Structure 1
Amino acid sequence: MIMKDQPRDLIELTIPAKADYVGVVRLAISGIATRMGFSYDDIEDLKLAVAEACTNAVHHAYRGEGGEISICCNLYVDRLEIEIIDQGYSFDVSAVEAKTGPINGRIPYHALRERGLGLYLMKSLMDRVEIKGDNGVVVTLTKYIRRDEVEADVDSPTETRSH
């Protein structure tokens, strides 16, 4: 019997730290989330948040020097936890968060990424985001499965009862 706090399965993927492979990760996350029963909107949120975390690792962790990014997906009964792990340069999360601030229409779009927009985006799309950076960076993204709130024995809209 699997406990609710124990992962049912672990899926690991390692990619070169190159932008060309971020799409592969998005496809894998989409497949995993679909199999787990996530809604379309939640799958899109997962793909976007994971792509942002991987893109950050590609551009900031290795600074063009090459390396690898590991993606570990822990599948729980009620959630998906995804760790994006690099062994590149670490950063001060609180300093990036402090720069994020409100989005100002006068700031050029290309400058928004440098202000921590990716971190803000991940936090907006996920239920929980944890970032640890000692030797490299580990970003943990958690998304809970939202099951239908309607009970299974409730009539569907196409079924009617005679009263």
Structure 2
Amino acid sequence: MKQAFDFVEMKVPAKSEFVGVLRLTISGLANRMGFSYEEIEDLKVATSEAITNAVNHAYYDEDTGEVTIGFGMYDDRIEIMIADRGGSFDLKEIREQIGPYNDGESSVEEMREGGFGLFLIDALMDKVEINNNHGVIVIMTKFLYENEVGQNGDQISTTQ
């Protein structure tokens, strides 16, 4: 049986001035779902890191480009999807192609300069998945109830 969810999708120009708009969006959606103030702050930081990464690195010197952000709101979690090559999300296709982010994975480090943003995202979120076949898609999951985190192998990687 499929779990019902609401899905919100936004496309913004790949420009840093739109990061604040997306922070406000995640704040509003997470607040509506019942996340705590601290959890909302973590969501805002992780989302900002992922979007800033896409804005700064996806299009290099090109002035054109879009970042697509999807918010899947379930009863027990929020999934935030960020794609740096535009296009709408085909959730079934993404799920078939996506894989976990493992701390220290060399292909992820090569994916973007630095890599500290991914380390921070992984520390703040409960689950992080990445697909870099055509551009980069990052899916970040934050569970609504603390007691569900880390049970049943939900947490892909841990940081000390």
**Partners of 1:46 and 1:55 in 2: CA distance:** 14
Three-state SS of the structure 2 residue aligned to 1:115 is: coil
Structure 1 segments (4+ residues) deviating >6 Å: none
The 5 A counterparts of 1:1-150 are: 6-65=3-62, 66-87=64-85, 94-95=105-106, 114-146=113-145
CA contact (8 A) 2:68 2:85 kept: no
Deviations, residues 72-123 of structure 1 (Å, cap 9, x unaligned): 00000000001001118xxxx8336558xxxxxxxxxxxxx94311010000
Q: What is the Cα-based RMSD across aligned positions, in Å?
A: 2.2
CA contact (8 A) 1:70 1:86 kept: yes
**Partners of 2:51 and 2:12 in 1: CA distance:** 10
- What is the identity, as a one-letter code, of the residue corresponding to 1:146? Y
CA displacement at 1:8 relative to structure 2 = 1.9
Return the index of the structure with the highest Cα Rg. Answer: 1
Three-state SS of the structure 2 residue aligned to 1:143 is: strand
Once the two structures are aligned, what percentage of the paired residues are identical? 52
- TM-score, normalised relative to structure 2: 0.73
**Partners of 1:8 and 1:98 in 2: CA distance:** 32
- TM-score, normalised relative to structure 1: 0.72
CA contact (8 A) 2:35 2:144 kept: yes
CA contact (8 A) 1:96 1:116 kept: no
- Residue ranges of structure 2 left out of the alignment (5+ in a row): 87-100, 148-160
Instruction: Return closer, same or farther for 1:15/1:140 CA change in 2, 3 Å cut-off.
Output: same
**Partners of 1:32 and 1:63 in 2: CA distance:** 30
